Amino acid sequence: MKKLPVGISNLRKIIEEGYAYVDKSRFVHKLDQMGTYYFLSRPRRFGKSLLIDTLKEAFEGNKELFSNLWLHNHWDWEKHHPVIHISFGGGVIRSREELDQRIRDILHTNETNLAVTCRQPNDIPGYFGELIRNSAKKYGLRAVILIDEYDKPILDNISEHARAWEIREGLKNLYSVVKDNDADIRFALLTGVSKFSKVSLFSGLNNLTDITLEPEYSAICGYSEPEMTQIFSDYLGNKSLEDIRKWYNGYAWLGQKVYNPFSILNYLRTGTFRNYWFETGTPGFLINLLEKRKYYIPGIEHIQASEALIGAFEVDFIEPENLLFQAGYLTIEHAQRVAGKTFYTLGYPNMEVKASLSDYILSRYSHDKVMKEKVQLKIYQAFQEKNPDALKTIFQSLFSSIPHDWYRKNKLSQYEGYYASVFYCYFTALGLDVTPEDTTSHGRIDMTVQLDDNKVYIFEFKVVDIDKTPGTALAQIRQKGYADKFREKSDEIYLVGVEFDRNQRNIIRFEWEQLKKHEGLSAR
C-alpha cells in the first residue's frame, strides 16, 4: 500500500519516496503541444503547485521521474530547458517594499540555480528580462517560466484597498516583462486562485490563454472519480462511495467533476467525514463582503451569474458571486447560452464546503460562539426526537439571548433575510440535507430539510412588519399545497410556519402540523 501524498507538491519526493500518484502527465504534453502562454485558476490546496512542479521536472528533462508515467514515451528527453520558477505561496507580504525584495530574492535564487549572471539585480524588470535572455543563451533553448500563486500577495491584502493596489502594480511590473521577451520563451504558465483582468495585471500579454473553464482541462488538477477509485483502492475498502461523493466530489469547470485532493486524501487517511479543506484558510474578506451586501445566505445555493460576473475582477470591484466561485466555495452546475452570452448556475460543490461555509457565516451571525455549538446540538436532537416544539424553544431562546448592543453594532438583523439565514446556517452547518427555494408545481418553498429516516420538514418564513400578505406562514404552506411534492416518497411531513418581528427581534408565531403518509394533518 503506497503512502498518501497529503500536502505534498513535489513530484520527486512523491516518486522517490513511494507515495501514491495520480498521473497528470498527459496534460503536460497537451499544454506543450497546444500553445505557449497559459493561465489557470483553481482553489487553494487543489494541486496547482504539484502541476507546476511536474511541468518543471518535464521541461528540465528529468526522465527518471516519469518512468512509470504516461509522459515517459511521449516527450523529448534530450532537451533540457532552463526553467524559471516563481512562487508567492510562502509567507505574507504586507507592503510594496516587501514584495519588491521578495521578487529580487526569487530571481536571485533562479539566477543561482541556472548558473547565469545578471547585471541588474536592483531593477526588477531588467533583472527578470536579463534572467530570461541569459538562461536561454546559456542552455541553447528557450526558457520556461512557471509562476505559482501569482495573485497571493494581492489576496493577502485584499481588505486594504490602497495596499492591494500598490502590490498589484508591483506584480504588474514583474509580469509585464514576459511580453517583451517572447523570442526567448518556450512556455509559460501562471496559476492562482483568482483571475484579475489582463488590463490590470497582464498589460500587453494578450496571448495568454485562459484554460480555467475549458472542459478538456477540467481535471488537470484534482482527482476524477475513476482516478480516485483506481489509485487509492487499497484505502477505500468497504467505505461508502456514495457518501464520499456527497462530501468531497463535485467541483466542475464545465467538464469532468473532480475531488479536492487535500480533502479526499485526509478522509482516506482518517476515515472520518469532516471539514479538511475549509479549515486551512478562513474567508474573512468574503464574509465581510456578504455582510456588507446584506446577502441572503440561502440564496448562495443556486446563483445565476453571467460569464462576466464570475470572470476577472479588479481590486476595487469585487462581487460576492465572483469571489465565491473563484475561491472554490461555489462551482458550475450547468451553463446556458442566451443571445450570445453565457449564463451559469452556481452551487455548492459538496457537503464539506456547504456545511463549513455555513458554520463560518453562522459564527459571524452569533454573538456567543459557545452558545452556537450548544444550539447546534439541541437542534440535531430536536430533529432526531421529531419535536418541532423544541425547535421553537431553541430559536426563541437564541434570539432572546442576543444583547441589544450586538444588534446596534451589527446591521445584519435589519434586513429581511437575516432570520431565515440563521435557520439555514444552523441546519446546513449540521450537514443536514437542506434545500432553500425548493421548487414545486405550486410555487417555491422557502426551505425544506430532508432527514435520512424519510422525514421532511417544510419551512415558510415571514417577517410580519415587511411582508403584509394576508394569512399566516403556515396557512401559506397549506394554501400552496407544498406538501404534495413529498406525499409519495416521505413517511412523515412536518409543515412549519415561522413569523418574525424586527422590532421585537424574535419569533412571534411558530406553528406546525404533521402529515403522515396517506393521513390527514394534525395541528400544533
Averaged pLDDT for residues 165-180: 92
CATH number of 367-401+432-516: 3.40.1350
**Topology annotation, domain 23-217:** Rossmann fold (3.40.50)
Residue 335 dihedral angles phi and psi, to the nearest 5°: -120, 150
pLDDT for 359-377, tens place per residue? 888 887 776 788 889 999 9
List 144's β-bridge partners, or say none: 83, 187
Decide if pLDDT at 407 tops 50: no
Averaged pLDDT for residues 47-65: 98
Per the CB < 8 A criterion, the answer to whether 474 and 496 are in contact is yes
Residue 100 dihedral angles phi and psi, to the nearest 5°: -60, -40
Per the CB < 8 A criterion, the answer to whether 143 and 82 are in contact is yes
pLDDT for 452-464, tens place per residue? 878 999 999 998 8
* Nearest Cα residue to 1 out of 265, 261, 235, 271: 235
pLDDT-wise least confident of 44-48, 397-401, 432-436, 474-478: 397-401
pLDDT for 311-320, tens place per residue? 777 777 788 8
At position 448, the amino acid (one-letter code) is T
Separation between Cα atoms, residue 248 and residue 274, nearest integer Å? 10
Decide if pLDDT at 269 tops 80: yes
Q: What residue ranges do the domains of the chain occupy?
A: 23-217, 367-401+432-516
Decide if pLDDT at 517 tops 80: no
Per the CB < 8 A criterion, the answer to whether 153 and 206 are in contact is no
Instruction: Supply the angle between the helices 417-429 and 388-401 in degrees, to the nearest 10.
Output: 120
Whole-number mean pLDDT of the chain?
Answer: 90
pLDDT at 296: 83
* Nearest Cα residue to 149 out of 42, 22, 253, 221: 42
pTM for the model stands at 0.89
pLDDT for 100-151, tens place per residue? 999 999 999 999 999 999 998 899 999 999 999 999 999 999 999 999 999 9
Averaged pLDDT for residues 201-222: 86
